[in-house]
Amino acid sequence: MSRTTTDLLYLVTIVTFILALRFLSSPKRARQGNLLGAAGMALAIGVTLAQPGLENFVPMVVAMAIGTVVGVVGARSVKMTAMPQMVALFNGVGGGAVALIALAEFHNLASEGLSAEDAVAILLSALIGSISFAGSLVAFAKLQELIAGRPIVYRAQQLVNAAVLLAAVGLGGAIVAGAESDAMVVGLILAALAFGVLFVLPIGGADMPVVISLLNAFTGLAASAAGFLLHNNVLIVAGALVGASGTLLTILMGRAMNRSLANVLFGAFGAAPAAGAGGAAAEDGRSVRATSAEDLAIMLAYARKVVFVPGYGLAVAQAQHDVRTLAELLEAKGVDVLYGIHPVAGRMPGHMNVLLAEANVPYEQLKEMDEINPELPQTDVVVILGANDVVNPAARSDPSSPIYGMPIIDVDRAASVVVVKRSLSPGFAGIDNPLFYDPKTSMLFADAKAALEQVAGALKAL
Amino acid sequence: MHEAAVPLVIELTILVLAIFLGIEVISKVPTMLHTPLMSGTNAIHGIVLVGAILVAGRADADGLTLVVGFVAVALGTANVVGGFVVTDRMLEMFKTRRRDR
């Protein structure tokens, strides 16, 4: 196969990748797009395997067989709640592959004398790929709760991290300056791996959506760097698309939490819960109104419009199916039902939508924050299920609150609000929620799943 | 693969244009599909498998290259296959209301 034919076929792959992303603009064609991208990927792999002069097919086929089994089993068995870990893992795996490519290329090319361009490409592939690999594995371990999700902080942390990164970059500089020993690249990779671990450790579990997006961008850029090293356009373009996507999502997540990237990465958010917030609340004379499943059933049955606001607590309670069952009962009674979904509901961007889609909630009912907010003043009942900070009106009204300025779902503008929650304990960020003490709010103290089952039972009995 | 290298400036041009294109295309993806977007782009960066194959398949590969290449191919394949399969699983679930049930 000539170089021109190869490049033309790679161009076809590039087009399929762009279309795959283009089709993601609507759920109708998104699946087709993904299949198209997969076909393009298969084409690129086939073309690569057909390159003249390629050898060692037996070990390669064995490696691909292993990778396929791991990939299929992992992808088929993962629970939708565990999707963030899975994405982190596949992301890390890709980054690791790039770092290894850089190592092998250096090993084979250094003795012939590297051009400055190749040396820079090797430096960037090894550096970014390794950071992405190690960082993703730590993010995976945090989300899987193999290690503590809370930020791990110690004194002079940023200094240590900076020193490790400097060491990695310094070794990279030596490579660009013409060092020929493999130990240089191995040292660079080890330092970058250490940096990857150190830089994710101080970031709390609640901020993982941002970290995963950022690491996704890193792996994309690492793939681009490998494209420069191998002079391969499809790697350059595919990596750039992923880099753009990861960067954009990182920015969107930061905006949805009203936090700068620097604050997410270095702020150790959630390390020490805001002092006394939850405990003091009960003592300062504010009262909450409790309600029962039966009363909630009556409220819902006579409402015209009901909005459910789910948070990750709903998924933890495995109650997605129960909320859909309840919604169907209400719709049968002529109640208009919608779901209001905050951009950071769940453990990664868009996670809550996937969890509700899994429970067969039709996607037309899933409304983004900007779509649902104008509807809330005309809503009779809002039911909050396992969400807390994303409905906290302090974000609008209390400049001293740590989440002040964060865009929220304005549930307090509905006629009445019911919060289904086990207790009055504060959310991730440890911030008191004045919504609970609002006169039009009632609290249903229960596990989300049990509560929804009881409400559905009471509704049937009405 | 290193013969007749494309001038660096052309590769940089491709990179920059692709980044702008990526931002354009991805800003049209609704929040609802951001998780499939992440796992889909994850699958796309599995394209590093192409690089891994080129490295592992070198005719003059020595022991180190073979071992490193082997691992890179296995990781790259897991990335590609897992990424596309899991994205398909998610997108399959996004259904519209079926009134005929």
User: Which tens digits make up the pLDDT trace of A88-142?
Assistant: 999 999 999 999 999 999 999 888 888 889 999 999 999 999 999 999 999 999 9
CB pairs under 8 A between A and B: 383
Number of H helices, E strands in chain A: 18, 6
DSSP SS3 for A348 = coil
- The alpha carbon of residue B3 is apart from the nearest alpha carbon of chain A, in Å, by 10
Paired with A442 in beta bridges are A418
Kindly give the residue spans of alpha helices, DSSP state H, lying in A144-181.
Answer: 157-176
Q: Chain B window 41-100: which residues touch A at a Cβ cutoff of 8 Å?
A: 41-62, 64-66, 68-98
Query: Is the residue at A312 inside a domain?
Result: yes
DSSP 8-state symbol, A290? B
CB-based contact B44:A242 (threshold 8 Å)? yes
Instruction: Say whether A349 and B84 touch across the interface (CB within 8 A).
Output: no
A288, A432: one domain: yes
A327, A441: one domain: yes
Query: Is the residue at A60 inside a domain?
Result: no
Furthest-apart CA atoms within chain A: distance in Å: 83
Q: Does the beta carbon of B10 lie under 8 angstroms from any beta carbon of chain A?
A: no
Rounded to whole angstroms, the Cα distance separating A126 from A225 reads: 9
Query: Is the residue at A70 inside a domain?
Result: no
CB-based contact A82:A318 (threshold 8 Å)? no
End residue of a domain, out of A219, A239, A266:
A266
A168, A110: one domain: yes
A171, A227: one domain: yes
Instruction: Say whether A240 and B15 touch across the interface (CB within 8 A).
Output: yes
- The alpha carbon of residue A278 is apart from the nearest alpha carbon of chain B, in Å, by 32
Rounded to whole angstroms, the Cα distance separating A97 from B77 reads: 10
What is the reported pTM? 0.90
A256, A306: one domain: no
Half-sphere exposure of A195 (CA within 13 A, CB side): 25
What angle (nearest 5°) sits at the alpha carbon of residue A398, between those of residues A396 and A404?
60
**Is A389 assigned a catalytic role?**
yes
A155, A206: one domain: yes
DSSP 8-state symbol, B6? P
Rounded to whole angstroms, the Cα distance separating A105 from A169 reads: 18
CATH value at residue A454: 3.40.50.1220
- In this predicted structure, the answer to whether residue B36 has a pLDDT above a threshold of 70 is yes
A118, A207, A322, A389: which is the annotated catalytic residue?
A: A389
- In this predicted structure, the answer to whether residue B4 has a pLDDT above a threshold of 60 is no
A255, A289: one domain: no
- Cα of first residue to Cα of last residue in chain A, in angstroms, is 73
Which residues, other chains included, contact A252 with Cβ-Cβ below 8 Å and sequence gap of 6+? Answer: A343, A349, B31, B34
- Smallest Cβ–Cβ distance between B65 and the set A53, A104, A365 belongs to A104
Which residues, other chains included, contact A4 with Cβ-Cβ below 8 Å and sequence gap of 6+? Answer: none
A318, A289: one domain: yes
- In this predicted structure, the answer to whether residue A206 has a pLDDT above a threshold of 80 is no
A95, A149: one domain: yes
- Provide the number of structural domains found in chain A: 3
H/E/C letters for each residue in A307-327? EEEECHHHHHCCCHHHHHHHH
Rounded to whole angstroms, the Cα distance separating A260 from A258 reads: 7
Number of H helices, E strands in chain B: 4, 0
Paired with A309 in beta bridges are A384
Its domain, for residue A5, covers 1-55
Beta strands in A82-198 (DSSP E): none
Label residue A428 by pLDDT band (50, 70, 90). Answer: low
Question: What is the reported pLDDT for A276?
Answer: 41
A31, A159: one domain: no
Instruction: Say whether A244 and B64 touch across the interface (CB within 8 A).
Output: no
- In this predicted structure, the answer to whether residue A342 has a pLDDT above a threshold of 50 is yes
Pick the more confident residue, A179 or A99.
Answer: A99
Instruction: Say whether A80 and B90 touch across the interface (CB within 8 A).
Output: yes
Instruction: Say whether A107 and B68 touch across the interface (CB within 8 A).
Output: yes
Instruction: Say whether A31 and B91 touch across the interface (CB within 8 A).
Output: yes
Rounded to whole angstroms, the Cα distance separating A362 from A358 reads: 10
A249, A311: one domain: no
- The alpha carbon of residue B60 is apart from the nearest alpha carbon of chain A, in Å, by 9
A64, containing H or E segment: helix A57-77
Contacts with B33 from chain A: Cβ below 8 Å: 24, 27, 30, 350, 353
Domain boundaries, chain B: 32-92
Of all residues in chain B, the one with the smallest CA distance to A53 is B59
- Mean per-residue pLDDT over chain A, rounded: 91
What's the distance, CA A193 to chain centroid? 21
A1, A48: one domain: yes
- In this predicted structure, the answer to whether residue A24 has a pLDDT above a threshold of 60 is yes
Instruction: Residue A43: count other Cβ atoms within 10 Å of its Cβ.
Output: 16
- In this predicted structure, the answer to whether residue A410 has a pLDDT above a threshold of 80 is yes
